[in-house]
Structure 1
Amino acid sequence: MTEIELHPGRPFCSAETLNRIARQQGLCLAIAQAAVFDEICRAVPLPQAIEKDLVDAYRSRENLDADADLEQFLTAKGWQQEDFLYFATKAERLQRFQRLMFAEEVELRFLASKADLDQIHYSLIRLSDGDLAFELHQRLLENEDSFKELAARYSEGDERDSGGLIGPVSLSQAHPVLVEKLRISQPGQLWAPFFLVNIWVILRLDHWQGSRLDDSTRQILLEDLFSDWLQKRVEHLLRGEEPPPLPGHVLTQDLDQPGG
């Protein structure tokens, strides 16, 4: 009978018992995710110098300057040396995996996600009285009153508390009809009142902050791509299917050389 150990050298339960516990306590998802992380970390190599720096940094964070301190730490954790190496280098290996696997997909994801990444500021007044809506619109055109003043006084939505101002929010968060109009608006453009669902709306685009594919955005998109990939791979495992093998020829590319 195969026995499972929670602490090295101390049998805890049989594999059959652990399977039952995993099912009944909802641990199967976590185990499947852990299996994928383990698979990645075993597949992604690190240069010796980088691996040593990561191990030294981990020891420093845990105040494990002396070897005796390290041994005591491992004993308390129930770890072996390979476990320590795993945790010290896991984040770096996962980051390298993301770059090696998904770097070429980032630009496509960026273009597809631009509506979620772009930030907009716009102003809104909602009114049930159409005649009043057109009157207020005319007053705005003639600069008789400010949008903020009219929204605070007349708007029937929550935006009255902010003087009609909404944002910064992603474009995709707005109602589809508003998105259509905002997408083709110029900053400062005021739309004539229009009826939306059950209320009249006066709309103005104040500012459009377009997203850029900088390092920060690139990392967010890499993590999104990895998350999607991870979910699919975990689903394979939970269905009892063999997931596709990791592309070894991709994962062994040298990221530390110029152009890598």
Structure 2
Amino acid sequence: MSKVLQISGAMPGLGYANIPKEIIPFLASYNLIPQLLSQSIIELAIAPITCTQAEISHALEQFYQHWDLTSPEKIEDWCLRYGLTPEQLELLATRKLRVEKFKKITWGHQLESYFLKRKRYLDRVIYSLIQTENKSIVNELFFRIAEGEDSFAELAREYSQGSEADRCGIIGPVELGSITPNFAQLLYTSQVGVVQPPVAFGNSWLIVRVEKVISAQLDDFMRQRLLQENFEAWFQEQLNKLSPEEKIWMGINTKSDQVREVA
């Protein structure tokens, strides 16, 4: 057993996150080492990030409210209980803010170009669908809709074999990036309001009509989402740089969602 557990390859130039050997058995017994190593990777990354005095004061105020620390005595007792200095308390209280600052500093300048690259997959679509394994009837249904003999909604409710039948064939809005690529391509290239001829997908035949395309916008919500996407990709890169021993500690093959737990 090594004397300390180290993050040695994830963040070159930012030093080491050392864990004293006497607490390693305790951490291992509760399966806490993966979490602690994950936290260490992020902590090393945000170490250079600073906050203004106003930001620190606001973060501390929120922290005190969360923990019901309503007096200086309660704050002092809380710090003594967990062995924290005032400086460590500030770091703890501002951690979330420093992570957000790290995201903006690292990827904020490239969000516009990243958004344009991803926009096709972020656009949402509302479409009508009839799916059936009955090949002999699908062409008849298509022509009945195209000729105006029956509405798409009526035939979807009667003939579609998926849950969309309960919604008169309507699905969405749904992001194109969350749909099977071949089917997403069909929707992406379809003209709004035009019924597409039957196409085979797996064991089913589909009739599709795009009802509406909702273009993705680079608003505040989208910016936060794209920053998080970049952050998660960066975190995975750091895991890939770990030494074999560190990867064993991390259980890296089963920790793809670890960043969501720690950030």
Common fold by TM > 0.5: yes
Q: Does 1:147 align with 2:165?
A: no
Point out the more displaced range, 220-229 or 175-184: 175-184
CA apart distance, 1:154: 1.1
Query: Which segments of 5 or more consecutive residues in structure 1 lack a partner in the other structure?
Result: 4-13, 242-260
Q: Relative to 1, partners in 2 of residues 1:39 and 1:91: Cα closer, same or farther, differing over 3 Å?
A: same
Secondary structure of residue in 2 paired with 1:126? strand
Query: Residues 112 and 27 from structure 1, CA distance in 2 versus in 1: closer, same or farther, beyond 3 angstroms?
Result: farther
What is the number of equivalent residue pairs in this alignment?
A: 232
Match of 2:143 among 132, 138, 142: 138
- For residues 73 and 34 of structure 1, what CA distance do their matches in structure 2 show? 22
Change (3 A) 1:35 1:76: same
- Once the 2 structures are TM-superposed, how far is the Cα of residue 21 of structure 1 from its aligned partner? 4.8
1:228 CA drift (Å): 1.4
Shift of 1:50: 2.2
Q: 1:218 aligns with which of 217, 223, 226?
A: 223
For the aligned residue pairs, the C-alpha RMSD in angstroms reads 2.8
Pairing 1:72-87 to 2, within 5 Å after superposition? 72-87=77-92
1:35 counterpart SS class? helix
User: What does 1:58-69 align with in structure 2 at a 5 Å threshold?
Assistant: 58-69=63-74
Comparing 66-75 with 14-23, greater Cα deviation is found at 14-23
Task: Give the equivalent residue in structure 2 for 1:18.
Answer: 23
Structure 2 residue aligned with 1:52: 57
Correspondences of 1:224-235 after superposition (within 5 Å) = 224-235=229-240
Correspondence for 2:126: 121
Which structure 2 residues correspond to residues 173-252 of structure 1 after superposition, within 5 A? Answer: 173-239=178-244
- Kindly indicate whether the alpha-carbon contact (under 8 Å) linking 1:29 and 1:238 is maintained by their aligned counterparts in 2: no
Counterpart position of 1:99 = 104
Computing the radius of gyration over CA atoms, which structure comes out larger, 1 or 2? 1
Q: CA deviation at 1:199?
A: 2.6
1:200 partner letter: W
Q: Which amino acid aligns with 2:233?
A: D
AA aligned opposite 2:72: D
Q: What is the CA–CA distance in structure 2 between the aligned matches of 1:86 and 1:176, rounded to whole Å?
A: 44
Q: Give the structure 2 partner of residue 248 of structure 1.
A: none
Q: 1:39 is aligned with what amino acid?
A: L
User: In structure 1, what is the equivalent of residue 117 of structure 2?
Assistant: 112
CA offset at residue 36 of structure 1? 2.2
Letter in 2 for 1:28: I
* Percentage of pairs with the same residue: 28
Deviations 1:114-158 (A, max 9, x none): 244211111111223334212111211222222111011112233
Q: Which amino acid aligns with 1:155?
A: S
TM superposition shift of 1:207: 1.1
- 1:210 and 1:106 mapped to 2: Cα distance? 17
User: What TM-score results when the alignment is normalised by the length of structure 2?
Assistant: 0.77
Residue segments in structure 2 that go unaligned for 5+ positions in a row: 5-18, 247-263
TM-score when scaled to structure 1?
0.78
